[in-house]
Structure 1
Amino acid sequence: MPMRGLTILVATGDAERLHTALGFAAATAATGARIRLHLHEGAVALLAAPLSAPNDPARHKAGLPKLGELWEEALGLGVAISLCQSGLALHDLDLEKLDPRLEAQGPVSVMTGLGDDRLVAF
């Protein structure tokens, strides 16, 4: 039986929460299930600078992926990543200058696109 899809909402600008969400997104993508990750308002701000998280040095030492590496891995696995339109405006980010695999979405399109997906918030 195919696994239900998963939509993950990252609600805050906490880099460690984003790292966790990306880990679950990558794991879901590896199963072949549909996976979407949405960065809401504050989480979008994390893209304003090179992606890094407080525990990245410890991860690197342990041979685990740092935030930026996990971000690239998730995109490479086909995780569909969307960014909050309000978050882009709040943090003065231009979608055209970010990774072309990203798209802008608002809450309505995220929710109407759920279908049978499970929804998890970090």
Structure 2
Amino acid sequence: MPGLSIIVAGAEGERLYAALETAMAATALGRPARIFLQGEAAGLLRDPVAFAGDEARRAAGQPDLAGLVAEAITMEVRLFVCQSGMALAGINATQLVPQVCAGGLVSFMADVAPEERLLVY
């Protein structure tokens, strides 16, 4: 089945949360999925992962962002962060969630197959 590639272009936790849910739905349907956090969005995967909406999510019986990231990794959603974005966020690779790969947008886009779907959040 065609894969799904997602770019998170804003540093809002809600965008990453939605991208993770979408990627996880794709993997549940048997499609490979991967997410690239561009620019300042790279900071969203700083370990420990958290965002302002976590408390409301937990109160509603939903996982917080850290829990959703962990679940996505378990489901084999591949996570990438922009190297330039890491510099903008003032972080390095050792400060990221361990399963996250640093890379560039060009290399991410080079791996998007013609039959794949590409979404931007």
What is the TM-score normalised by the length of structure 1?
0.88
> 2:65 matched to which residue of 1?
67
Select which of 77, 80, 85 maps to 1:79: 77
What stretches of structure 1 move > 4 A for 4+ residues in a row?
Answer: none
Instruction: Provide the residue aligned with 1:24 in structure 2.
Output: 22
RMSD: 1.6
Structure 1 window deviating more from structure 2 (109-118 vs 53-62): it is: 53-62
Number of matched residues?
120
The alignment partner of 1:43 has SS state of helix
**% identity of equivalent residues:** 38
Say which SS state the counterpart of residue 8 (structure 1) adopts: strand
Match for residue 10 of structure 1? 8
- 1:107 pairs, out of 101, 105, 108, with 105
Please, which runs of 5 or more residues in structure 2 have no aligned partner?
A: none
Q: Deviations over 1:10-55 (max 9, x none)?
A: 0011011111111111111212211010000111122346322333
Q: Which moved more, 1:12-21 or 1:98-107?
A: 98-107
CA distance in structure 2 between the partners assigned to 1:61 and 1:99 by the alignment: 24
CA contact (8 A) 2:27 2:33 kept: yes
Q: For residue 119 of structure 2, what is the aligned residue in structure 1?
A: 120
Name whichever of 11-20 and 53-62 sits farther off.
53-62
- What's the counterpart of residue 89 of structure 1? 87
Instruction: Name the CA shift for 1:100/1:47 in 2 (closer, same or farther; >3 Å).
Output: closer
Structure 1 residues 69 and 98, CA, compared in 2 at 3 Å: closer, same or farther?
Answer: same
Shift of 1:90: 1.8
Conserved in 2, the CA contact under 8 Å of 1:6 and 1:117?
yes
Question: SS at 1:25's partner residue?
Answer: helix
The separation in 1 between residues aligned to 2:70 and 2:46, in whole angstroms, is: 16
Structure 1 residue ranges without an equivalent (≥5): none
